[in-house]
Amino acid sequence: MLRHLARRAAGFAVTFLLISVLVFCMMEIVPGDPASAMLGTSATPETLAALRAQMGLDAPAVVRYLRWLGGLASGNLGISYTYGVPVGSLILERLAVTLPLTGLAVLLAIGIALPLGVTAASRPGGVADGAATLYAQAGIAVPNFWIGLLLIMTVALGLGLLPAGGFPGWGDPVAALRALLLPALALAIPQSAVLTRVTRASVVEVMNEDFVRTARAKGASVSRALWRHAVPNALVPVITMLGLQISFLIGGAVLVENVFTLPGMGRLAWQALAQRDLIVIQNVVMVFATVVIVVNLGVDLLYTVVDPRLRRRA
Amino acid sequence: MVSRTRRHLLTGALLAALLVPGLAVAAPRTDLVLGMPVEPPGLDPTSAAPTVIGQVVWQNVFEGLTRVDRDGKVQPQLAKSWAVSPDGLTYTFALQAGVKFHNGEAFDAATAKFALDAIRAPGSVNPQKALYAVIADVKAPDPATLVLTLSKPSGNLLFWLGLPAAVMVEPKSRDGLKAIPVGTGPFRFASWRKGDRVELTRSPDHWDSARKVHLDKVTFRFIGDPQAAAAALRAGDVDAFPLLPAPELYAAFQKDKAFTAEPGLTEMKVVAGMNNAAKPFGDKRVRQALMMAVDRKLLVEGAYSGYGAAIGSHYTPNDPGYRDLTGVYPYDPKKAKALLAEAGYAKGLTFTFKSPQMAYASRTAEILQAMFAEVGVTMTIVPTEFPAKWVQEVMRDRSFDMTVIAHAEPMDIAIYSNDPYYFGYKNPAFNAVVTEAAQATDEAARLKAYGEAQQILADDVPALFLFVLPKLSVWKAKLTGFWKNEPVPSNDLTEVRWTE
């Protein structure tokens, strides 16, 4: 077990290092720098050079990379060029929005997809199945930001039930949750559409397995055969899909964050890229990478929970 | 018995009716939530160019020696008066007494000297550094007197000193201004939740008792999506949007009685710059022909829903001494074709157009492409990310044929005399006239020279002069005191108040 953990940790370190090199090189290739973003049409060769020197951009690439890596190792992520504040606190502020938003969206997606997918699979070709298929197709076809706009127009402006956008901060948890509800729903609907399809397909497949037939032959009711025997065995592909979706949601919510003007990680990455705030981008990507690695680890662990056979191998 | 109870109730109700609404009416709101489409990159206008910085802090948090008012006129501020020597080379300012920065530091001549010297220092990254290069020396003979010596006369100096880039800052807070702006203004910085909002609160001890502000708390919220901006206004989450990012949504607000929506003008001159240093734009006739291929009215209609004013030179109707020169090369595709043929392009002309991603720019690019096609010119649009990529390719490397950008700085016609600058335009006659304009201390002579400068550009067409971006402001009908036009990119909130 210890050896297994050590191997995993070494794997992390190598992945981490590789990603850091990749991100740094990419930022080197991207045209433009924070100095040109700051000066715009007022840029003169003289002020551009002065600003680059002030930002430490005139040092050779290798030196800058090692400086950054050294900072990372000591927990100092550097100072944002545009905001002038430590990048660490900037990212923490954003994670306080993005992580709860993602969590809420995933819960909503599961809450919609699992009952819908299982019900659809219980009688393939039935009314519920038709409805679920329609929902799944519509949900995949419609982009999440558009659902967001629709929700703003109906729920926020039309009914006045929830705020149209913005984030009041966690000082008032109820207001904060209310602000996150609509964007989470906008994110959850397309995700739940995919998840519904995967759940349905997986359950239908398992329902045709011999052991389910045996369970039915032994006198188990349809719903018992479904929930007790088929669903637990159908969860592995659902969890795999969920893992992929969480990784996507952490960074891919930019458009929804824009529509609801939420200060999340996606918008931070996007703004930092527009301003060429290199130090912010590099660290944001590292955070994304960490989240993906952690989520993958979580998915691996979940496999062993739902499938006892895997426990022996680990 | 019943009737007496009823009488008591009635009396009580009457009393309540008198008291309650009275209390409610007596106190109009003193807070304001203002929406902006772009979050500023830092809050220090002396270290970065984006106009959104000044739109949060200028006149609210920071003040200058002078200020520019809503009509574009120079007014005294931290300098209460000044005297100019007859040769125009020495400015002696009398400074306000008893002024304190928000961190408690006193403002005096030594601080003013520090702020001006910081702009002029060799390593300075002040975005408007060039404007203050005429200042040769700054002296503070006593705490209330500041003396500037210029290397040559500068008729616009008092205006330049009123811009966001020249606000007064003090040594102790200077290095952290990007994150925590510390000025002498009527509002002080309270907080900045990055990506979401900046909050300012009224300064309890502002020096200027003549300009008493009405608001206690101001929140700037950053809402980039145009639909979300409109939704926030309608939902009441935002009280005002001084620059609505979507012209196509503006008409609905103009019809809505709950809002005031009067289009004004900014200083943002949308010009399609050409690389005058290279073929084919080195030939004046090509530039003039392309100018005549543009139907400016139709362009404004398509690119900005008809808001905004057509221009014929690098000057806006807000600016003093403005001349309408849209008639110098009016829309005339036949003449355009003939002139192109004369320049040797009878069979047509092909070039690329680096288009920034802003909506006004990419729409302008598409419309120009169609208009040029009418006169046999093929223009290929190359999307070019602004600012980072565009500044590098167009401004620094000057590797472009034609591009488009809105020049935001007020009274910046002299950029056409900058060398190097991306237009690559060289005309000694123009340089002489703008120098004369810059140095003239007599108002009439100065405006006359600016008039001539406008005329030379309209004739030479170093860039296609298209239109001035409108200031599409929307605010709740019960608010008053906003600027209709924007002679300086700003949101001066010192006169804004709720009427009930």
Q: Answer whether B100's CB lies under 8 Å from B107's CB.
A: yes
Q: How far apart are CA B99 and CA B111, in angstroms?
A: 11
Quick one: pLDDT at residue A314?
Answer: 47
Residue A210, class by beta-carbon neighbours within 10 Å (0-12 exposed, 13-18 middle, 19+ buried)?
A: exposed
More confident call, A207 vs B75: B75
> Which chain A residues are within 8 Å of B385, Cβ to Cβ?
32, 274
DSSP per residue, A223-260: HHIIIIIIHHHHHHHHHHHHHHHHHHHHHHTHHHHHHT
> Which band of pLDDT confidence, cut at 50, 70 and 90, is reported for residue A313?
low
Q: How many separate domains does chain B show? A: 2
| pLDDT the model gives residue B21 | 45
CA distances from B279 to A107, B286, B345, B353 (A): 61, 10, 12, 14
Contact between B389 and A94 using a beta-carbon 8 Å cutoff: no
pLDDT at A208 over 90: no
CB contact under 8 A, B195 and A37: no
Whole-number Cα distances in Å, B15 to B19, B23, B264, B312: 6, 12, 47, 66
Tokens of B209: 């008792």
- pLDDT at residue A40 in the model: 80
- For an interface test with A, the pick among B220, B395, B416 (most A C-beta atoms closer than 10 Å) comes out as B395
Mutate to test the interface with A, among B391, B396, B419, B422 (most CBs of A within 10 A): B391
Q: What is the 3-state secondary structure of B241-261?
A: ECCCCCHHHHHHHHHCCCEEC
User: B304 and B215 in one domain?
Assistant: no
User: Is residue A105 pLDDT above 60, yes or no?
Assistant: yes
In terms of domains, do B161 and B244 share one?
yes
Q: Provide the CA B342 distance to its chain's centre, in angstroms.
A: 40
Q: Note the pLDDT of residue B477.
A: 96
Whole-angstrom CA distances from A116 to A119, A194, A231, A284 are: 5, 12, 13, 36
> Which of A28, A33, A41, A260 has the highest number of chain B CBs within 10 A, making it the mutation to test binding with B?
A41
Supply B175's token pair: 């290095």
Residue with tokens 């739109």: B55
Q: Which helix (H) or strand (E) is A5 found in, with range?
A: helix A2-29
Plot region of A196 (φ>0 → left; ψ -120 to 50 → alpha; else → beta): alpha
* Amino acid identity, position B421: Y
Same-domain check for residues B133 and B175 = yes
In this structure, the answer to whether residues B222 and B277 fall within a common structural domain is no
**Smallest Cα–Cα separation from A38: which of B287, B339, B142, B129?**
B129
Q: Going residue by residue through chain B (500 aa), what tens digit of pLDDT does each one get?
A: 445 555 555 555 544 544 444 444 568 899 999 999 999 999 999 998 889 999 999 999 999 999 999 999 999 999 999 999 999 999 999 999 999 999 999 999 999 999 999 999 988 989 999 899 999 999 999 999 999 999 999 989 999 999 999 999 999 999 999 999 999 999 999 999 998 999 999 999 999 988 889 999 999 999 988 888 999 999 899 999 999 988 999 999 999 999 999 999 999 999 999 999 998 999 999 999 999 999 999 999 999 999 999 999 999 998 999 999 999 999 999 999 999 999 999 998 999 999 999 999 999 999 999 999 999 999 999 999 998 889 889 988 899 999 999 999 999 999 999 988 999 999 999 999 999 999 988 889 999 999 999 999 999 999 999 999 999 999 999 999 999 999 999 999 999 999 97
Task: Based on the fold, state whether residues B481 and B435 are members of the same structural domain.
Answer: no
Between positions 143 and 172 of A, the ones with CB within 8 A of B are: 149, 152-153, 156-157, 160, 163-167, 169
Domain contains B146: yes
Digit-coded pLDDT (tens) for A254-304: 889 988 989 999 889 888 988 889 899 999 989 888 888 888 888 888 887
Which residues in chain B have Cβ-Cβ distances shorter than 8 Å to A53?
Answer: 123
Residue among B342, B364, B334, B339 nearest B289 (CA): B339
Same domain assignment for residues B312 and B458: yes
Q: Who wins on pLDDT, B379 or A35? A: B379
B453, B489: one domain: no
**pLDDT for B4:** 55
Residue A84: pLDDT band (50, 70, 90) is confident
Q: Which residue of A has its CA nearest to B220?
A: A166
Q: What is residue B302's three-state secondary structure?
A: helix
The order of strands in the sheet holding B79-84 is B79-84, B90-95, B145-150, B135-142
By residue range, what is the domain housing residue B206? 26-262+473-500
In a domain, B21, yes or no: no
User: Phi-psi category of A276—alpha, beta or left, where left has phi over 0 and alpha has psi -120 to 50?
Assistant: left
* Chain A contact set for B41 (CB, 8 A): 37-38, 82-83, 275, 277
| d(CA B348, nearest CA chain A) in Å | 31
Structural tokens at position A191: 């995700």
B197 contacts in A (CB within 8 Å)? 166
For residue B20, being part of any structural domain is answered with no
Q: Cα(B402)–Cα(B465) distance, rounded to whole angstroms?
A: 13
What pLDDT was estimated at residue B198?
97
Least Cα separation, residue A25 to chain B (angstroms): 17
Residues present in chain B in total: 500
Q: With contacts defined as CB-CB under 8 Å, which chain B residues touch A94?
A: 194-195
The total of other beta-carbon atoms located within 10 Å of residue B31's CB is 13
**pLDDT confidence of A200, banded at 50, 70, 90?**
very high
B16 in a structural domain: no
Q: Which residues of B62-77 are buried (b: 16+ CB within 10 A; e: fewer)?
A: bbbbbbbebebebebb
Residue A48 has pLDDT above 90, yes or no: no
Classify residue B47: in a domain, yes or no.
yes
Start-to-end Cα distance in chain B: 43
- Cβ-contact B195, A267 below 8 angstroms: yes
Contact status of B194 with chain A (Cβ, < 8 Å): yes
Nearest to B176 among A46, A84, A93 (CB): A84
Q: Dig out the tokens for B9 from the structure.
A: 């109730």
Residue of chain A whose alpha carbon sits nearest to that of B231: A164
Q: Is residue B391 part of a domain?
A: yes
**Chain A within 8 Å of B408 (Cβ-Cβ)?**
yes
Residue B3 falls inside a structural domain: no
Tell me what pLDDT residue A307 has: 78
Q: Which residue, A114, A124, A295, A122, is CA-closest to A192?
A: A114
The whole-number pLDDT of residue B22 equals 45
For residue B83, what are the β-bridge partners? Answer: B92
Domains and CATH numbers, chain A: 1-74 (no CATH), 87-312 (1.10.3720.10)
CATH number where B232 lies: 3.40.190.10
Position B13 in a domain: no
Question: What's the CA gap between A80 and A92, in Å, rounded?
Answer: 13
| Residue B172 shares a structural domain with residue B223 | yes
**Do the beta carbons of residue A148 and residue A186 sit within 8 Å?**
yes
CATH number at residue B314: 3.10.105.10
B405 to chain A: which residues are within 8 Å by CB?
Answer: 41
In Å, how far are B299, B302, B404 from B368, measured between CA atoms? 8, 10, 10
**pLDDT > 50? residue A212:** yes
CA dist A207 and A172 (Å) reads 47
Q: Is residue A187 scored above 50 in pLDDT?
A: yes
Q: Is B413 in the same domain as B332?
A: yes
Q: What is the mean pLDDT of residues A89-118?
A: 93
* pTM for the model: 0.87
Of B231, B223, B269, nearest to B249 by C-alpha is: B231
Cβ-based contacts of B47 with chain A (< 8 Å):
38
Whether residues B481 and B341 share a domain: the answer is: no
What strands, in cross-sheet order, belong to the sheet with B197-202? B187-193, B197-202, B217-222, B31-36, B240-241, B474-476, B259-260
Q: Between residues 210 and 269 of chain A, which touch chain B (CB distance below 8 Å)? A: 258-264, 267-268
Whether B38 and B84 share a structural domain: yes
* Domain identity same for B438 and B455: yes
